[in-house]
Amino acid sequence: MKKALMIIDVQKDYFIAGKMELYQPEKALQKINKLEESFLALEWPIIYIQHINVKKDASFFIPNTKGAKLHEKLKLRSHSIIIEKNFPNSFKNTQLLDILQYFKVEQVVITGMMTHMCVDSTTRAAAELGFKPILLTDATATRSLNYLGEEVTAKQVQISYLAALQNFAILQTVDTFLGEE
């Protein structure tokens, strides 16, 4: 089954000193780098998704800012596929579906940021489109949230969203996916 690696929104604003710092994004990036090496060696498609926030009141991923750039530790090449998006769902108003069909991809391997937003939305859409997603749990990152004056820690957010996403995707760690566990 032909696979493609999707790396969603691994952008500077999510890291230390960024405008929307996540919980342990560096750990997720290390796992993503390991996956990139594997997919590059196999010459399988890697698709980088970059969110550009075009809303008037945007607080991060603002067009033409340092924070909106893809992280410099990603293994981008001159021929890398980068898809710009403006919505949490990476398929909405982008060429992602066309690109996956062009490469005859049957299954997407999903990584990236934020688990509770763009990873969630894209994983559900990928399942609905028949791409049998594999979501690599340790190659994602999120942040704490608040609701009704209560803090939901990043760990709780991560567990909650992953628990729900197991209805739409195969959940694995990077090492399990790569056959190293």
Listed residue (12, 101, 91) closest to 49, CA to CA: 91
The DSSP bridge partners found for residue 3 are 107
C-alpha distances (whole Å) from 88 to each of 30, 38, 63, 168 are 23, 27, 16, 16
Is 32 in contact with 139 (CB distance < 8 Å)? Answer: yes
Is 147 in contact with 156 (CB distance < 8 Å)? Answer: no
Exposed (0-12), middle (13-18) or buried (19+): which is 100, by Cβ within 10 Å?
buried
pLDDT tens across the length of the chain (181 residues): 899 999 999 999 999 999 999 999 999 999 999 999 999 999 999 999 999 999 999 999 999 999 999 999 999 999 999 999 999 999 999 999 999 999 999 999 999 999 999 999 999 999 999 999 999 999 999 999 999 999 999 999 999 999 999 999 999 999 999 998 6
